[in-house]
Structure 1
Amino acid sequence: MHLSPNEHNNFSLSRFESMLKTNDVYFFDSEEFEEIIQHYLENGKVALAKKATRMGLEQHPSSTNLKLFQVEMHIFENELDKAEEILDELYVLEKSNEEIYIQKANVYSRRDEHKKAISLLEKALEITADEADVLSLMGMEYLFMEDFEHAKYYFMKCLEQDEQDYSALYNIIYCFDYLQEHEAAIDYLNDFLNKNPYCEVAWHQVGKQYYTLEEYEKALAAFDFAVISDDRFIGAYLEKGKVLEKLKQYERAIESYSITLGLDEPTSFALLRIGKCYEKLENYELALQFYNKCVEEDALLDKGWIAITDFYFKKKNYQKALYYIEKAINIDTENVLYWKRYAKINKRLSLFEEAEHGFRRTIELGNYEMETWLSRCDILIELGEYDAGINNLLQAAEFYPENAEIEYRLAGLYYKLLEDNKAEFHLKNALNLDDEFAMIIEELFPKVYNKKRVQELIKDHKKPSL
């Protein structure tokens, strides 16, 4: 009975797995082992691929291809010396086998010796029948070296070999983007489209370049062509929606985003953007509906929770805003954007201890904006925590030295603690930096501001020098 190639592969695989279960030993030719190993690698079953490689070499110890699979396993497990040892042995026997050069280049690449890797790939290129694969590997090595001009050149060579190689096309555009050569990218893509007028990927990339250049009408036209080329291209509809938002055409943007919901599982991005569009159109009920759908779809998307929180904050419904930001914090306690909002909302609700906790967490998570330090300080003043307020400001001063707003607050706090010498030092610093901000003392420390000595210092500073 004659078996088709697929049936033969399945038969070999079934026999191999049956052998593993029974501990019997079956004979397979080397090509069968290669197909079995390839199957396991493609399906991410590395342990079974290793077992098949070992058993294959036991039956066919001189098989170069099986030894190359063994090299691949060693490289995968970062056993580079072992891989190199086998490759050196194979090189002595088969100097014209391009795969030996490619795997040796892979070893050098793993060691960050990219120039050596490229040198070997150049040799592989001279003898290979599949130039596109080697050109792609060379492009990747240049990418690792951040040599984007050479990387771009080799990926372009790949695309010349195979115009369907979209990974090469994406890498070419990545290089153009990194080099900020957006007009050059458009010219290259237009040349490509002259030969491939219905390539949706190229139209999509043209649109993204125009979007970056803020040429929104041209971007819109490109995304329309992408959709004409493939009316199920979700990425093009999403990008088109973004452009329409920039053009303030919110109804059309909603329409474009909505198409994606029917093509595949709804994406949290599309649901969020639809909500934003409805909010711009002042259809607040539908905006909230889509924000809620967004967080139901992806509870880890912080932009969804922030959209709902900010919606209620703008409406001055601080209790609702607090409810949603607390839900968000329960999901992700390390999100600095959540804590910043938590602090501001509690401040509006005059819940100062909670607000202080929020600003403190914001700082602990790495938000060192001036506003955060000052807001926390003002709340500590409200709570009468003067020592903590000073410590907070001294930390802030490390990031913002010679800052009048910090110095005025330090002066006020030291006066509160009856440390007049330190207070005067900081008040004089503050006045020298910007006497217009003296109102900070008046607003935060009215009793301090009315002190005779403070008034004298302010007036003396404002006297014109003779």
Structure 2
Amino acid sequence: MKKNLGIIFILLMMILSGCTLFSTTDPDFSREKYDSWYEQNQYDEALKHVYERLEKYPKDPLLYNEKGYILINMEQYEESLEPLEKAIELDDELDSSYSNKALSLNRTNEYEKAIVAAQKAIDISDQEPEQFINMGNAHSMLERDEKALEYYDKALEIDDSAPYALYGKGISLYFLQEYEESIPYLEEYLAYYTNDTEALWYLVYSYDLLEEYSATIPYLDKIIELKPEQTLDALDYKGLMLTYNGDFQKAEDIYDNIIEEFPDEGIGYYGKGVALIQLGEIDQGLEELENAIELNEALKDTAYSDPLLSSIYNNETFIKLTEL
């Protein structure tokens, strides 16, 4: 019998290449396997596995999409675009590739391009909240918050507990100056991501603008707990909120804490001075303001126009302190 070398050659190539002649996709692709790595933040392990599988299945769009998604999670947004484009080239109906591409483009500040990618994902499948969230995020970053709200609402119609849709809607409402309406969405988002200090700050700002000063305190305390590098700003804000709320003694205690922890920062002395003046201790308060201005001369301008100091605008010592 004559040997069919052609068949033997084909079979050999099938063995060496992982049968790519008949299969362009990885038969062992496991969504669960990757998800388990993501849950444990083992992105290097997941990326290593993708590279190994792509050597056998170099035309698998799912593997390229997964590579892009891993790079996104590693905050390598620019690098993620190449594998995502490859995934789209291999399968232009894979909605998650467009969705991931939109996410990366948002992170690289290419918002108009992100809108195009997000729209393509929506055109392919309009039953995933992520597509609408990506679209909302792009419009929000372009300061089109009313438009962004339309997409966040569509995402919430699909999944009324989608965290990033809740966050996006809360932020858009905030920038539309709908502070009271923004609060429930931001608070619901924080039920999922309790340690997101950016969301905590937006709640602080919202309650401040609504003049509900005492409501800011728990969020400021949480920021201080989570972000030591933001302690000075959060303590200063807390002291200010207590002052606005009429809790002058508590505010003085906060500023004493700042002076102890940050003795070279004028803001602690400034805040204490304001609190003392509100308590009627004018001379002592002015001494603290003088200490503040010696440490930070820019506080002279702050004091000059501070409404909390309006009661001493005509005080001779204060006038000398704030002379430009």
TM bracket, shorter-chain basis: 0.5 to 0.7
Q: Superposed, which structure 2 residues align to 1:153-164 within 5 Å?
A: 164=28
Deviations 1:218-257 (A, max 9, x none): 6434213224555665543321222343333134222243
Distance change >3 Å, CA 393–CA 171, structure 1 → 2: same
Larger Rg: 1
Distance change >3 Å, CA 232–CA 398, structure 1 → 2: farther
Tell me if 1:270 matches 2:127. Answer: no
**Match of residue 309 from structure 2:** 445
Q: Cα distance, 1:360 vs. partner? A: 0.8
Native 8 Å contact 1:223 1:240 kept in 2: yes
Q: Cα distance, 1:299 vs. partner? A: 4.0
Distance change >3 Å, CA 363–CA 395, structure 1 → 2: farther
**Match of residue 323 from structure 1:** 181
2:276 to 414, 429, 439: 414
**Match of residue 358 from structure 1:** 215
Distance change >3 Å, CA 303–CA 198, structure 1 → 2: same
Distance 2:259 2:250 in 1: 14
Q: Cα distance, 1:410 vs. partner? A: 0.8
Q: Which amino acid in 2 is paired with 1:275? A: G
Distance 1:170 1:339 in 2: 29
**What's the TM-score once normalised by structure 2's chain length?**
0.66
**Match of residue 295 from structure 2:** 433
**Match of residue 90 from structure 1:** none
Distance change >3 Å, CA 286–CA 406, structure 1 → 2: same
Distance change >3 Å, CA 168–CA 412, structure 1 → 2: closer
5+ residue gaps in structure 2? Answer: 1-25
1:193 to 33, 54, 73: 54
Deviations 1:269-312 (A, max 9, x none): 32211222344567665432211122344444443233223323
Distance 2:186 2:42 in 1: 37
Bigger relative contact order, structure 1 or 2 (CA pairs below 8 A, ≥6 apart): 2
Report the secondary structure of 2:131's partner residue. helix
**Match of residue 68 from structure 2:** 207
Across the aligned residues of Structure 1 and Structure 2, the Cα RMSD in angstroms comes to 4.3
Q: Cα distance, 1:344 vs. partner? A: 2.2
5+ residue gaps in structure 1? Answer: 1-161, 179-184
Report the secondary structure of 2:298's partner residue. helix
The count of corresponding residues between Structure 1 and Structure 2 is: 282
Q: Cα distance, 1:401 vs. partner? A: 4.3
Q: Which amino acid in 1 is paired with 2:103? A: K
**Match of residue 261 from structure 1:** 125
Tell me if 1:308 matches 2:308. Answer: no
Q: Which amino acid in 1 is paired with 2:235? A: W
Native 8 Å contact 1:326 1:342 kept in 2: no
Q: Cα distance, 1:414 vs. partner? A: 1.6
Q: Cα distance, 1:259 vs. partner? A: 4.8
**What's the TM-score once normalised by structure 1's chain length?**
0.48
Native 8 Å contact 1:328 1:338 kept in 2: yes
Q: Superposed, which structure 2 residues align to 1:28-177 within 5 Å?
A: 164=28, 167=33, 177=44
Q: Superposed, which structure 2 residues align to 1:395-410 within 5 Å?
A: 395-397=257-259, 400-410=262-272
Report the secondary structure of 1:197's partner residue. coil
Distance change >3 Å, CA 364–CA 194, structure 1 → 2: closer
Deviations 1:399-435 (A, max 9, x none): 6443212211211222332446753553343133212
Identity percentage of aligned residues: 15
Distance 2:278 2:142 in 1: 50
Distance 1:196 1:239 in 2: 21
Distance 1:412 1:283 in 2: 40
Report the secondary structure of 1:445's partner residue. helix
**Match of residue 25 from structure 1:** none
Distance change >3 Å, CA 205–CA 291, structure 1 → 2: closer
